[in-house]
Amino acid sequence: MPVSEAAGPGEWGAEIARVLFDEAAIRQRVQELAAAITADYLPCWQQDPRWRLSLVSVLRGAVFFVADLARALRVPAAIDFMAVSAYGDTGRVRILKDLEDDIQDRDVLVVEDIIDTGLTLGYLLSQLRARKPRSLAVATLIDRAGMRLVHDLPVRYTGFEIGNTFVVGYGLDFRERYRNLPFIGVLREEVMDEAPERPRLAHPSEEEFARLLDFYRIRWEYEPRTFVLLEDEAGQVKVGFSPDFYLPDFDLYVELTTKKPHLMNRKLRQVEALRQQYPGVQIELLDRADFEILARKLQARERP
Ligand code: IMP
Ligand code: MG
């Protein structure tokens, strides 16, 4: 289904460069995945008439996929949702909304929209595994396997594999837009290149620091990079750390902290580990009381 090149205002063609998977292709693939899942789990139901598959879906991108997939299954299924933050200042995914149901001894199938680095899913699975499900597997609509940092994920069902293009539609967003497109497509470059939105900051102290930097006209980026601090023998990322701010004019990372001892200690350890493993990287750990001092110091400093 081509999106018209000559699209006018109010038509998707003005923003979407091309359609990768149209409605019919998605419907077809979802049916195939559902058939494979049904075949794999049918014996569980045949052994126990009270059995059901526990679908765990990740908000918000996977909602369309799980809704269509669940309706195409021919085994009983419960649906539950989780919401997680991106791997932020703690180097770990934070659970923003947890499951309603207990998954102990259940057969759990995590339903994802897209797996990119796999960091999000990796953390999510470690959380779920700790709750002792009987089995744990993953179905993802899209897999961008070329970007994977975490490799041993139990991805048993994959809808489509794609390369390194950013895609939108059928649940996937760019800045909370395009989720409701019935197809999966690639955005026009002009749309992707638009001025970056001011990022949503996680804590009031980050807002305060950002306002201060703005006031002193110091350019900043929010959590632009994740440093790998710990890998296991297989080269899997175990701990990542994304400093809160990067000040490009000073080539300086800044991590904010509070006086709370447990937070302070963890952040100190992370900053120390980063300094040791990335000797070329400059990072400062900043207490709230130091915000203004640093901002004024930087403003006075010659930009290299
Ligand atoms: P990961 O931790 O790098 O695997 O992050 C995966 C998450 O990044 C997904 O759940 C999406 O929210 C988002 N994401 C990654 N690639 C795309 C894309 O091409 N379009 C929209 N969202 C994406
Ligand atoms: Mg997203």
For 196-220, how does the pLDDT look when each residue is reduced to its tens digit (9 = 90+)? 667 778 788 888 888 888 877 788 9
> What average pLDDT does range 287-296 have in this prediction?
79
SS3 250: helix
Distance CA 280, CA 233 (A): 25
CB neighbour list of residue 156: distance below 8 Å, 6 or more residues apart: 40, 137, 138, 139
Split at pLDDT 50, 70, 90, the class of 292 is confident
Model confidence at 178: pLDDT above 80: yes
Helix or strand holding residue 256 (H, E): strand 252-257
Instruction: Tell me what pLDDT residue 179 has.
Output: 96
CA of residue 215 relative to chain centroid, distance: 31
Instruction: Tell me what pLDDT residue 89 has.
Output: 45
Q: In the 3-class helix/strand/coil scheme, how is 145-188 assigned residue by residue? A: HHHCCCCCCCEEEEEEECCCCCEEECCECECCECCCCCCEEEEC
Rounded to a whole number, what is the largest CA-CA distance in the chain?
73
Distance CA 265, CA 273 (A): 12
> What average pLDDT does range 112-117 have in this prediction?
91
In the annotation, is 116 catalytic? yes
CA–centroid distance, 61 to ligand 2, in Å, is 6
CB neighbour list of residue 238: distance below 8 Å, 6 or more residues apart: 230, 231, 232
Residue 292: CB atoms within 10 Å:
14
* Helix, strand, coil share of the chain (percent; to 5): 35, 30, 40
**Candidates 114, 191, 225: which one to mutate for ligand 1, based on the most atoms within 8 Å of Cβ?**
114
Model confidence at 88: pLDDT above 50: no
Nearest CA to ligand 1 atom 5: 116
Split at pLDDT 50, 70, 90, the class of 7 is low
CA atoms within 13 A on the CB side of 71: 6
CA of residue 283 relative to chain centroid, distance: 25
Model confidence at 195: pLDDT above 80: no
Nearest CA to ligand 1 atom 10: 114
> What average pLDDT does range 148-153 have in this prediction?
83
CA nearest to 122, candidates 105, 99, 140, 104: 140
Q: Which of 40, 80, 116, 287 is catalytic?
A: 116
CA–centroid distance, 62 to ligand 2, in Å, is 10
Instruction: Give helix then strand counts, H and E, for the chain.
Output: 7, 15
Q: Which atom of ligand 1 is found nearest the CA of 120?
A: 2
Question: Residue 79: beta bridge partners?
Answer: 55
> What average pLDDT does range 64-87 have in this prediction?
93
How high does pLDDT run on average in the chain?
A: 88
Split at pLDDT 50, 70, 90, the class of 192 is confident
CA of residue 186 relative to chain centroid, distance: 19
> What average pLDDT does range 148-165 have in this prediction?
91
Tokens of 276: 């040791």
Please indicate whether residue 215, judged by its CB atom, sits closer than 6 Å to ligand 1.
Answer: no
Please indicate whether residue 116, judged by its CB atom, sits closer than 6 Å to ligand 1.
Answer: yes
Percentage above 90 pLDDT, the chain: 56
Instruction: Tell me what pLDDT residue 212 has.
Output: 83
**pTM over cut 0.85:** no
**Which residue do the tokens 């197809």 mark?**
183
Model confidence at 240: pLDDT above 50: yes
